Amino acid sequence: MRFIDTIEGLDDIFETDIPKGSVVLITGPPGSLKSGFVFSILSNYLNNCEEHGIYVTLEQNKKSHLENMGSMGLELSDNLTISDFTDYRLQYDEFSGDLLSLIETNIIQYKHKLGDNFTCLALDSLGALYSLMDVEPRLLRKRLYHLLEPLRRENLTTFIILEMADPNGPNHDFEGYLADGIIELGVHTKDNSTNRYLKVRKMRATAHNMDPYILTVSNDGLHIYKGTIF
């Protein structure tokens, strides 16, 4: 099973699969299907192999998250564990300095439990993590680097969601530098028609199209197809 076979039309963008062990940044504004896109990739991938993964959520609690995914026709794979850190937000004033360490511990424990069968994870979202950590940005990003590098060494394919209201506004050079791939999701209006789109800005070690593709959602999941966006 390839990651690019998990959503209809995604394999039209890539010539080869997203390399295992990559850190992939998923960016976009609210409503651009970032969580649905990542959840769909992981659940569909894990449904078709003997591997396991974690979806770390800081934005929505597990129940709300699964209800949202279900409304898009997306079902949770038995091999995907939802690691819910939303309750932690109620206590962050007292314990915020420990949040990244708790996430690291959670991942390490899962790795010790499943070994090489643990192959992929998602962090939803980096913005929520930043907002909950009482650490200056320079030190926080340094800690993020020290989290991501061991994930690469363990060959864990990692999808990190980062909300960006304007893809042409202030960029996130540090996160982009750390990432092996950047997939931009967006919403664009042209001639009174509004479409969601997907654009692969970079993906190391694989050939891919850089044109925008239309991204749609129906009651049977997500679909990607070529169309005129801009």
Give the start-to-end residue ranges of the domains of the chain. 21-185
Give me the mean pLDDT over the 54-62 stretch.
Answer: 93
Which residues neighbour 135 within 8 Å (Cβ) at sequence distance 6 or greater?
Answer: 97, 143
209, pLDDT greater than 90: yes
Name the CATH architecture for the domain at 21-185: 3-Layer(aba) Sandwich (3.40)
166, pLDDT greater than 80: no
Give me the mean pLDDT over the 168-187 stretch.
Answer: 78
121: β partners = 54, 158
- Model confidence at 227, pLDDT cuts 50, 70, 90, reads confident
Give the predicted TM-score (pTM) of the model: 0.93
Residue 89: per-residue pLDDT = 55
Which helix H or strand E contains 199, and what residues bound it? Answer: strand 193-203
CA 135, CA 157: separation in Å to the nearest integer? 26
Q: What is the 3-state secondary structure (H, E, C) of 115-131?
A: HHHEEEEEEECHHHHHH
Q: Which residue has the higher pLDDT, 190 or 14?
A: 14
143, pLDDT greater than 90: no
- Model confidence at 190, pLDDT cuts 50, 70, 90, reads confident
Give me the mean pLDDT over the 164-174 stretch.
Answer: 61
36 CB-contact burial (10 Å; exposed 0-12 / middle 13-18 / buried 19+): buried
Question: Cis omega (within 30 of 0) on the bond before 40?
Answer: no
Quote the strand ranges of 60-164, DSSP E: 80-84, 118-124, 157-163
Amino acid 176 reads G
pLDDT in tens, 91-129: 545 545 567 888 888 898 999 999 999 999 999 998 888
